[in-house]
Amino acid sequence: MERRERFARTILNGFESYFAEFQNITLAAKSWFENADWHGIQQASARRIDLYKVHTSRVNEYVELIAGEHLHDLDFWRAARGAFSRQIEGHDNFEIAETFFNSVYGAVFKHRKIRNEYVFVFSPHGDMPPADVSKVYNNYHLDASLPALLEQLLDDYAFSIPYEDKARDIRNIDSVVKTYLAPRFDLTRGDVKFQVLKHHFYRNKGAYIVGRIVTGSNSIPFILPILNNEVGGVYVDTVLFGSDKVSVLFSFTRSYFLVDASIPSQYVLFLQQLMPAKPISEIYSSMGYNKHGKTYYHRCAYRHMEKTTDQFMIAPGIKGMVMCVFTMPSYDFVFKIIKDRFTPPKEMTREQVREKYRLVKRADRAGRMADTQEFNNLAFARERFSDELMEELHKVAPSVIEEHGKALVIKHVYVERRMTPLNLYLHDATDEQVQDVMDEYGNAIKQLAAANIFPGDMLLKNFGVTRHGRVVFYDYDEIVPLVDCNFRTIPAPRTEAEEL
C-alpha cells in the first residue's frame, strides 16, 4: 500500500474510532434517563463534545509519522485527498468523514491554505448521502381508534421503567390531538398515519418522541416530551405541534441531543422536512455533529456570498466593549471578533473571553444562550467590506486581520445566528410586544440561573430576540457559574443622595 493510501486510511480509521465512541456515549443515554442520572448525562454530553478534539489529535500523531518529510507537501495532500475520497465512496457517513479529514489538515496547516484541491471545501460526493428517510421512522396507520394507535406507539417507545399512568397519558394526548387538529385534519380519513422517528432524542432530563401526522398531502410535526418522575416511572409531559414548536426545541440556543442515529443524514433530512426554515447545518449541530455543522455552514456561506453583492457592515445596536460585530443585510448570521483592547472598565484577556465561549459550548444553554461556530483564518473578499467597517476593524482589532491582495483574512472569529438586539426591539415594539418580551427577558434570566449560569451583565443590549420571539443572551465575557457567585443584600440608603 502506497504511503498516501496508508495516510488516508489512517485518517478514515480515526474517524471510524471517533464515530464509534460517539455512538457508544449516545447509546447509554437511555439508561441515564431511566436511572434519573442527570449528572451522568450532563457529563457524558460534555465528554462527547470533547471527543472530536481527542480523536483528531490522536490521528495527527500517526499521520505525522506516516507522512514524514511530506507532511507539509501540498502535492502529497492533494494525492491523499484523492485516496481518501476513493476510500469513502459509498460510505454511509462520508460527509462527516470528510469533515474529519479537513480537521486533520487544519491542525497541520494551522487553518491556512484551505483549498478544495487539498481538503473537502466541497464534496465530490455531494453535500449529503442519498437518504431514504422512510428507513428511519415507524408508520402507524389510523385503522381503528386514535387511543389504540397511541397505546401501540407508547408501547413501542417504552422504557425499562413503566409509565406512571399510561391510560391517563393516552387520554390526554387523544384530547389534545383531536382539539388541535380538528380544524385542520380530517382524522376520519382512511389515509391518516403517524410517522415517528425510531429512536428517542435525549437531552438533560427529557426524552422526546419526534414525528409527524400525515393525511393526503398535508402533514404536521409533533413531539411528545417524556419526563422521569424520579420515583420509578415516566410520563408524557405535553404534546407539541407545528414547525415553530419543533424548531424551538431544536434551537441553536439549546444543548445538543443524544439520539441513536447510525446514519445521521437520514435523521437530518427527516427533521429538515419538519422544520423547512431551519438550516441543515444547525440540525447536524443539534444532534451533536457540530463540527460537520460548521462545514455545512461554511459551504452555505460561500454560496450565499457567490449569489449576493451587498457589503458587510457594523451590526446594528450599541457597540460592544469586548467584541466587534458585523453582518450583511442579506445574511442571517453575525460575525464576532475579539477586540485587541477592551473598552474600560472591562479588564480581561483575549484568552479569558475565549474560555467563556468554550464554557457556553459545553454548558446546558437552557434555550437561552446562542451556540457559535469558531473559525480561524477565515478568508473573505476585501471588496465586500464597507469602508466604515474596515475603519472600525483597523481601529479596534488590527492584530486579527490581514489583507492579502483582494482577500481579507480574519485570524479568529465567532459566527452566530443573527437576532434583533433587545434594546432595539423594544424601540419599535407595541405595548403588548413590550410586555411579552420583558416576560421573556425575565424567563431567560431565571432559566439561565436554573442551568447554573449567571450572565453577569444583564443590560438589554446583551440580549437578542429570535424570530420566534424568544429572548436569548449572547454576551458571554462576564458569565460565571451561579454557584460561584456571592449575592449580597443591597444595604438601605443612609442619606438622600444614596437613595438617588
Active site residue 371: yes
> Which helix (H) or strand (E) segment is 1 a member of?
none
Is residue 419 within 8 A of residue 475, CB to CB? The reply is: no
Fold for domain 308-484? Transferase(Phosphotransferase); domain 1 (1.10.510)
> Which helix (H) or strand (E) segment is 431 a member of?
helix 431-450
- Name the residue among 267, 253, 380 with its Cα closest to residue 327: 380
Name the amino acid, one letter, at 368.
R
Terminal Cα-to-Cα distance of the chain (whole angstroms):
80
251: helix, coil or strand?
coil
Report the distance separating Cα 256 and Cα 285, nearest Å: 7
Report the distance separating Cα 109 and Cα 128, nearest Å: 26
Q: How many residues does the chain have?
A: 500
> Which helix (H) or strand (E) segment is 265 a member of?
helix 264-274
306: helix, coil or strand?
helix
pLDDT in the model for residue 258: 98
pLDDT in the model for residue 257: 98
164: helix, coil or strand?
coil
pLDDT in the model for residue 500: 66
- Name the residue among 102, 74, 89, 124 with its Cα closest to residue 15: 102
Q: What is the pLDDT along the chain (500 residues), one digit of tens a residue?
A: 699 999 999 999 999 999 999 999 999 999 999 999 999 999 999 999 999 999 999 999 999 999 999 999 999 999 999 999 999 999 999 999 999 999 999 999 999 999 999 999 999 999 998 878 999 999 999 988 999 999 999 999 999 999 999 999 999 999 999 898 877 788 777 789 999 999 999 999 999 999 999 988 889 999 999 999 999 999 999 999 999 999 999 999 999 999 999 999 999 999 999 999 999 999 999 999 999 999 999 999 999 999 999 999 999 999 999 999 999 999 999 999 999 999 888 888 999 999 999 999 988 898 999 999 999 999 999 999 999 999 999 999 999 999 999 999 999 999 999 999 999 999 999 999 999 999 999 999 999 999 999 998 889 999 999 999 999 999 999 999 999 998 888 888 888 887 76
Q: How many CA atoms lie within 13 A of 54 on its CB side?
A: 11
Q: How many CA atoms lie within 13 A of 84 on its CB side?
A: 31
pLDDT in the model for residue 1: 62
Report the distance separating Cα 65 and Cα 286, nearest Å: 35
Domains of the chain, by residue range, sit at 3-109, 133-288, 308-484
Residue with cell 431565571: 446
Give me the DSSP letters along 101-159: HHHHHHHHHTT-S--TTTS-SS-TT-SS----GGGGEEEEE-SS-HHHHHHHHHHHT--
Name the amino acid, one letter, at 227.
L
Give φ, ψ of 113 to 5 degrees: 55, 40
- Name the residue among 98, 95, 84, 88 with its Cα closest to residue 129: 95
Is residue 32 within 8 A of residue 39, CB to CB? The reply is: no
In the numeric block, which cell numbers belong to residue 313?
Answer: 457592515
Residue with cell 446546558: 364
Is residue 14 within 8 A of residue 55, CB to CB? The reply is: yes
Report the distance separating Cα 435 and Cα 442, nearest Å: 11
pTM for the full model?
Answer: 0.94
457: helix, coil or strand?
coil
Catalytic residue among 371, 431, 439, 457: 371
Q: What burial class does residue 336 get, using C-beta atoms within 10 Å of its C-beta: 0-12 exposed, 13-18 middle, 19+ buried?
A: buried
- Name the residue among 196, 154, 200, 155 with its Cα closest to residue 173: 154
